[in-house]
Each structure stands twice: as structure tokens, then as C-alpha cells.
Amino acid sequence: MDVNALEAEAKATAIKHITTMLQMPEQLEKVQQYKKRVSRKKASVEAMLKTALQSQLDGFRTALTLQKSIPNDLAEVQRNLNEDIQDIFKALPALTERLQEVKEESIRHSQYGAAIENLKHIFNVPGSVQKTQELIANDKLLLAHQALSDLENSRDDLLFELHKLPSQSVTDRNMLKQYFADVEKLSEDLGKQIWLVLKRTLNSVRKEPQVVVTALRIIEREERRDQAALERQKSSGGFLPPSRPKQWRKRCFEVLESAVEDRIEGNQFEDRHENKMWLVRHLEVTRQIVLDDLRTVKTICVPCFPPEYDIFNRYVRMYHSCLSRHLQSIIANELEGNEYITVLGWLTVYMGEELMGHPDLGLDAASLEPLLGRSDVQQLIDKYLSTLVANYQDWLRNALQSDIKDWHRGCEPDVDSRGCYHTSAPMIVFQMVDQHLQVAKTVGPDLVRKVLSISLEQTTKFVTSYMEAVTEFRDRHFEDRSVRRFFTHYVIAVANNCLQFKQLFEKSYTDCCTGQGALAKGDNEISQVYHRLQQSLERLQERALDALRDELFLDVNKELADVMTRNWLTSEASVIDTVTATAEDYFRDYTHLLPRNLELLVGKVQWALARSYVHAILQRKIAFKGYEERKAAAEKINRECQKLSELFKKAMPQTGAGSRRGGSVGSASPGSSPLDTLPLLAEVIKMKDTSLLSLEVSGLIKRYPDISGEHLQSLLMLRGDMSRNEARTLVAEMRSDDQPRGVGVPKSVFSEIVLT
């Protein structure tokens, strides 16, 4: 306590009080009055404080005085108690001897009383046993239990009296047990009848619920007698009647669980050798039985069983544990093929609204433990996936062989409603994949992701094998084109199959990436596998369309080789007429291509023709004798270019917006045709005034940045009026300000032409 601080605080308070009190001049006259009042109050407070302190001091003195006397008082009390207790203990042995006769007489009286009380039962034991047996045989279980209880009470009372004797006679005890030996057999017989009733609980409770109630009443009576026997054992020196505790309630639950187990295992009517769908049928029957039984328990059994049994939840736990053991037993016997997914799917069904989550049951299925442990489920998934991979390999190999076999048939492929060729391979593979995805969806999104990944990977491998088969088919056909009459038709079907594959698998991928519990569309692994499949299909599509293009050019290469020769220039007949007629003949077959494929193929053919024509021009296979020949060649190039343009315009599908090129290299500008190159080259050849050549060459370079100096030099030298040095100089001047050719430069037919 800080006295100085308290004193300073008191002074400050006093100053504040005086300031408040003496605010007016007239109040100064009352200063003496105020001073006297404060003095009287101070004296009063000091007197009260002194009185309180004196009272406290008196209390402390009294307490100290009492504390000093306490040890003496305690010692005196202890001494007096010891003397009295010793006197009492000395008298006890004599008292025991004096009461010995009373004790012995009490024991004899108790024995005689028990004997008299049970005398009629002792003399009537054989008759009572026979009567009880008849009651049990006639299913009068309550009466039988009453008679059995009387017999057991008589036996137990007599045995207890023997147990209380100081010197117990083993002979008397064994003789008494032997005399009542049939009682234990009666108890076993009654128990068998009760267990039989409980084993049929789910059937009996529908027709005769009173039978089940009777059995449960007997069990509860026996449970109470068990408790009484155990309590008497604690208080009577360890005496416990024979066969106690019976623990019939525990046995009741064991019987109920055994009945549940038999009910689950008893509905398997066939095995794998009799029916491949044995497991599906067995698990479906099991589901129906379990659901029906639990409904029965909830609606009928609950009123029959004591509340403390919590019979509905107990039945749920029993069915759950029995089903778990049963599934583990099925798995231990080795599953095959789709049996793995059957079990996995049933685990999902079990937790869903079709069973434990059914509204009629009102259960929280999520609170149940899994039927199978994580390791067991993972093992099933791993085995299913490995089986799935093996099955895919087998099925896809067969699908490929079947499709290859169709290629060699002596008839056209199947035609769809649009008149487009196709084979059954895409639908066979898709149905295969879709079936497994639908099955996987019954298990969960994790398995769907894994199945989709495997399906896409295996289909990618199938497409790779498919492409190898198409390549071999093409090579053999080109060796002898007279053998395979329907080569073109089936390659068209293959190209169409690619688009169908893309469409079908895009649907599967999209379906798996949408909806509740679906895959994340950004799943990198799945996305990568899916795009690898798409790329494989695009390569297969390219391979098929390239084969069709190559087949056409096998028939026109001879005519194209004659372009820009003396014979081509002087002949009245046009080489391109033959090329056009041949192409039109092929295009009639190409109408069986899907529009996108037709657009790509027409673009490929157009590109290849333009490249061949430009290459022929730049090869300088002809030497012009003068301007007139050069002009005639240029005009013929323009005429043939016009014919080719009309051919491709007619062949292009109406739904397409025009092909820029079907291959990997695009055209010089969007919407342009590779044939547009020919009129520009013809104009350079035709131009008479050499002073304007630089303007044409400059325009050509701007239109086709990938044209090389060798191309331009060869074109200028083809005119015949420029030397090599002059052509080189002009090209060098035109390309001096040109940007270097690089990756960003649009590609045209010039990129594929190499002059030697």
C-alpha cells in the first residue's frame, strides 16, 4: 500500500470538495460551520475504527487460547477410546462361544426349512421332469419354463444349503446333482426349441408374432435369474448354481446372426459353370432379401422385441457384418472377368437408395463402415483393370481382324443414310468402351476416370494397328491393282470411320466430363490421353486420304509428266482433259466420303496437281523459239488452269467453304487456291516487255513469300530471252528488300518444289 499516494489522492479530493463547496462569496461566512461539521464526522469515524480493531483483536486472542488447548483435548479423547475398544475386543471370544449353539441351530433350521419347502418337488422330480418334457414337445414353452424354473429353484436351494455347511460333503453334493441331472437336459431341450423359434424369426413374426414374444420373455426371465445368481455368488461365498449363467440373451443374438448368415448364403442357387451371370443374379437376390428383411424388422419385429435390444440397428449390423464376410468369401474363391466390376458396382448399390439408403429404412448409410476394406476394394479395382486391359486387347484385335477381312470381300462396304461408306469397326469399339464406362459409373467417378483412360489408351493402340493395316493394304494394292477391286471403296470407308471414331469418342469424353460426380475437364492425364487418340485418328485419316490421292495420281502421273513439253504445246488435244476425265471418274467414288473428308481429299488432289504443274513449268522442259510460242504456252496454261478450277469447284462439297489444302501445309493466303499460282506464272512467261518483268516478279514474291531465288531464276530463264546472269541479277534486285524465309512465312506449293 502506497501511503504517500493515498495521502496525495485524499488532498486532491479535499481540494475538489472545498472548491465545490465555496463557489459563492456568501458561502465564506459558513466556513467555520463547515469546519466543525467535518471535525465531528472525523471523530465519529475514528471512534468506529477503534471499536472495530478492538473487536478483531479480542477474537484473535480467543482463537489462540483455544488452539493451545486442542492437542491436550485430542490426546484425552484418544486415550478414552482405546480403553473402551480394548474392553469390547476382550469380550468377543467369549461371546462367540456362547452363541455357537445358536449358530448351529440356525443352520439346521435353514436346511430343514429349505427341505420342507422343496419337499414336494424333491419327491415329484421324475413326474415334474416328464411333465416338462411333454410341455416342451407340445410347444407350450411358457408353462414348460415355469415347471423348469420350479425344478431349478429346488435344486439350487438345496445345493446352497449344502454350500453353507462348515464341512461340505462332496458325496452329498454329487448325489444331489445326480438326482437333478434331468433338469439340465430339460434346460437344453427348452433352449433348442427357443433357438428354433428365433432362427425362423423373420418368417414367424409375420404369421405368429406371439411365438417370438414368448421365446423372448423366457430369455429375459433367464437373463434376470443369471443376474440374481451372480449377485448371490458375491454375497454367499462364491456359490453359483449349475449351468449358470446361461447367457441366453447372448445366445439369442448369436442365433439371429446365424440365421442372417444362412439367409444370405442360402440364396446362391447356381455357380459360374451353370450360368455366367451367377454373381449378378446372386447379388440382386441378396439385395432384395436384405431390403425385405430389414423392412420386416422395422415394421413388425421392433414391437415384439424389448426396447433395450435395439433390434433394428442390431439387425442392420448383423446383415452388414454377414454381407462383408460373404463378399470376402466370394472374392477369396477368385473372381473372373466382369465379376470384379459386379462386386464393385454392388458395393455402390448397397450404400445407395436401392438398399441401405432406401427411404423405408430411414438409415444414415454414410454412418455404416465400408463392406470391404480399402485394400480389398483397391485389389478388386486393380484386378478388374488388368482384366479390362487384357479383354480390350483381345476384343480390339478381333475387331481389327474382322474389319481387315471385310476389306477383301467381293462387294462394296456398308452405306449409311447419307450414302457414305463405312464399316462396323467404330461402332463395335465404341459400344465396347461405352459399355464399360456405363458399368464404371455404377461404382464411382474414380473408376470412370481409370476406365476412360484405359479405354482411350487401348483405342489409340488399336488406331495405330489399324493404320499399319491400312498401309499394308495400300502397298499390296499398288503392287497389283487388278486384285483388289474395291480398294477405293474400303479406303473411303476407313477415312469415314476416322470421323465417326472422333465423333463417338468426343461424346464419351464429354459425357464423362459433365454431370454430377463427373471428371474434371481439366484432368491433365485424361486430357492428354484423349488428345493422343485424336491425333492418332487424324494421322489415320491423313493416311487413308493420302492413299486415295496417290491412287488417283498413279493414273494421271504419265499425263502430268508431259506438261510443258514440246508435245504438250503442239498437240491439239489437252493433257488436262485426260486428267480431268480421270479425276471426275474418281470423284464419283469420292461422293461416298463424308463432306469433311471429301473437302480434305479434294484439297489434297488440288494441291498435288498444282504442285506437279508448277514443278513442270519450273523444270524448263521446253525451249521456246520465240514470243509466239511463249504466248501460246502461257495461254494454254491459263486454259488448263480454268478447267482444273472448274473441276474442283464442282467436286467440292456444298457444305464446305472451300479447301485451302488438305495436307499439313497451308496455302499462301486464307481462301486462296493453289491453282491461283498458274495464271501468275503464265503472266511472267507471256510478258513481252522485259522492262516490266521486275513488277511481275515483285508481285509474285509478295503473293508467295516462300518462293525461292532458284524458282524465280528458272522461271525467268524459261522465257528464253534472258541469260542466266541477267535472271540472277533481276532476282537478286527483287529479293534484296524481301524478308528472309522463316517459320512465320505462309507456305505454298513452292515450299514443296526442289529444283535439281
Q: In terms of Cα–Cα distance, which of 396, 506, 514 is closest to 459? A: 396
Shared-domain flag, residues 427 and 462: yes
Q: State residue 388's pLDDT score.
A: 92
- C-alpha dist (Å) from residue 537 to 140, 502, 533: 80, 7, 6
Shared-domain flag, residues 385 and 368: no
Query: What average pLDDT does this structure show over 19-25?
Result: 76
Q: State residue 664's pLDDT score.
A: 39
**Cis peptide upstream of residue 359 (ω within 30 degrees of 0):** no
Can you spell out the DSSP letters for 193-249? HHHHHHHTHHHHHHH-HHHHHHHHHHHHHHHHHHHHHHHHHHHTTS---TT----HH
Shared-domain flag, residues 526 and 613: no
Q: In terms of Cα–Cα distance, which of 342, 489, 495 is closest to 412? A: 489
Shared-domain flag, residues 629 and 731: yes
Shared-domain flag, residues 10 and 47: yes
660's CB contacts (< 8 A; 6+ apart) are: 603, 666, 667, 670, 671, 672, 673
Domain boundary among 548, 569, 601: 548
pLDDT band of residue 173 (cuts 50, 70, 90) is: low
- Tell me the percentage of the chain whose pLDDT exceeds 90: 40
Domain boundary among 325, 344, 372: 372
Residue 569 lies in a domain: no
Residue 574 lies in a domain: no
Give the H or E element holding residue 421.
Answer: strand 421-422
Residue 414 DSSP SS3: strand
User: Structural domain tally of the chain?
Assistant: 5
Residue 663 lies in a domain: yes
Low-confidence winner among 282-286, 421-425, 464-468, 512-516 (lowest mean pLDDT): 512-516
Task: Please tell me the distance from the alpha carbon of residue 603 to that of residue 587, in angstroms, as a whole number.
Answer: 12
pTM of the complete model: 0.70
Q: State residue 576's pLDDT score.
A: 87
In the predicted structure, residue 507 carries a pLDDT above the cut 60: yes
Query: What average pLDDT does this structure show over 105-110?
Result: 70
Low-confidence winner among 578-582, 583-587, 633-637, 736-740 (lowest mean pLDDT): 736-740
Query: What average pLDDT does this structure show over 582-592?
Result: 93
Task: Please tell me the distance from the alpha carbon of residue 198 to that of residue 208, in angstroms, as a whole number.
Answer: 12
Cβ(229)–Cβ(240) under 8 Å?
yes
Q: State residue 134's pLDDT score.
A: 84
Tell me what the pLDDT averaged over the chain comes to.
Answer: 85
Task: Please tell me the distance from the alpha carbon of residue 462 to that of residue 449, in angstroms, as a whole number.
Answer: 20
Q: In terms of Cα–Cα distance, which of 230, 208, 203, 226 is closest to 141? A: 208
In the predicted structure, residue 31 carries a pLDDT above the cut 90: no
Task: Please tell me the distance from the alpha carbon of residue 498 to that of residue 491, in angstroms, as a whole number.
Answer: 11
Residue 566 lies in a domain: no
**Bigger pLDDT: 114 vs 712:** 712
pLDDT band of residue 611 (cuts 50, 70, 90) is: very high
Other Cβ atoms closer than 10 A to 19: 9
Residue 554 lies in a domain: no
Q: State residue 463's pLDDT score.
A: 96
**Bigger pLDDT: 670 vs 180:** 180
Query: What average pLDDT does this structure show over 293-318?
Result: 92
Angle at 116 between CA 111 and CA 117, to 5 degrees: 100
Q: State residue 739's pLDDT score.
A: 52
Shared-domain flag, residues 351 and 391: no
pLDDT band of residue 670 (cuts 50, 70, 90) is: very low
For residue range 217-237, list pLDDT tens digits in order. 999 998 898 888 888 777 776
Give the rounded distance of the alpha carbon of 21 from its chain centre: 87
Q: In terms of Cα–Cα distance, which of 221, 208, 220 is closest to 139? A: 208
Per-position b or e across 724-755, b if 16+ CB within 10 A of its CB: eeebbebbeebbeeeeeeeeeebbbbbbebee
Residue 343 lies in a domain: yes
State the CATH number of the domain containing residue 414.
1.10.357.50
Cβ(377)–Cβ(370) under 8 Å?
yes
Q: State residue 123's pLDDT score.
A: 62
Q: State residue 177's pLDDT score.
A: 67
Shared-domain flag, residues 343 and 393: no
Phi, psi dihedral angles at 517 (to 5 degrees): 65, 20
Q: State residue 660's pLDDT score.
A: 40
Most confident of 81-85, 408-412, 652-656: 408-412
Cβ(493)–Cβ(431) under 8 Å?
no
Helices (H), strands (E): how many in the chain? 27, 2
CB burial of residue 493 (10 Å; 0-12, 13-18, 19+): buried
Give the H or E element holding residue 422.
Answer: strand 421-422
For residue range 118-143, list pLDDT tens digits in order. 565 566 677 777 888 888 888 888 88
Shared-domain flag, residues 422 and 399: yes
- HSE, side-chain direction, 13 A CA sphere, residue 450: 16
Alpha-carbon dihedral angle through residues 536, 537, 538, 543, given to the nearest 10 degrees: 90
Task: Please tell me the distance from the alpha carbon of residue 218 to that of residue 53, in angstroms, as a whole number.
Answer: 79
In the predicted structure, residue 750 carries a pLDDT above the cut 80: yes
Cβ(681)–Cβ(617) under 8 Å?
yes
Shared-domain flag, residues 486 and 606: no
Shared-domain flag, residues 590 and 711: yes
Shared-domain flag, residues 130 and 174: yes
Residue 111 lies in a domain: no
Phi, psi dihedral angles at 520 (to 5 degrees): -75, 125
Task: Please tell me the distance from the alpha carbon of residue 102 to that of residue 104, in angstroms, as a whole number.
Answer: 6
Residue 410 lies in a domain: yes
Shared-domain flag, residues 537 and 515: yes
Give the H or E element holding residue 55.
Answer: helix 31-117
Per-position b or e across 446-471, b if 16+ CB within 10 A of its CB: ebbbbbbbbbbebbbbbbeebbebbe
421 pairs with which residues across the strands? Answer: 415
Domain span at residue 420 reads 378-548
